[in-house]
Amino acid sequence: MTRQIVQEWLNRTSACFVANDFATYKEHMAFPVSITTDGGGNWTITDEAMLQNGFDAWVRMMHEQRVTHLVRTVRNYEVIEGGDLWALYTAELLSNAVRVVPAYDSYLRLRNAEGGWKCDLVLSGLANPTWPVIVPRVKTAKSPPGGAWPDPARPSADSRYAPSSPGSGDSDRDRS
């Protein structure tokens, strides 16, 4: 069931970018939203205007890069303290069946708030150091598998953060 919750969240929010549907997208986010990238970017999105700015830039990028599909697939997950969900997923930006950039891995935390699952933390596998992301950058060299998950409470202080790592554990069951 947990895998399904995360995958449905990813599918719904991916569809928001393709359809340019900010109203639905913002319903799936919980302020403040912390975003850290593999390229050293670190932002806290504190309000709707800032979220809209990033959303609009991503939609523009998708249009300019002729992205037809944003496919994000759960690779691993766990239920963490307080019943939040911590997940590793792979993202693919496709123009028809052709990748626009190499696939990349990211982590996210979902909280059950206000009647639905909302994201408040992303550790992105993108190498972009600035916000908003105009052209996605992905490191070509993969980090070696670390086996341990980053600490969702302190992502920027966790040296184990390696978004290209497949994580550890059985991806088909909840971990405690």
The token pair at 90 is: 């792979």
Domains identified in the chain and CATH numbers: 2-157 (3.10.450.50)
Segment 61-100, tens digit of pLDDT: 999 999 999 999 999 999 999 999 999 999 999 999 999 9
Task: Report helix, strand and coil shares of the chain as percent, to nearest 5.
Answer: 25, 35, 40
CA separation, residue 126 to residues 19, 87, 176 (Å): 22, 16, 28
Q: What is the pLDDT of residue 131?
A: 77
Q: What is the distance between the alpha carbons of residues 61 and 31, in angstroms, rounded to a whole number? A: 24
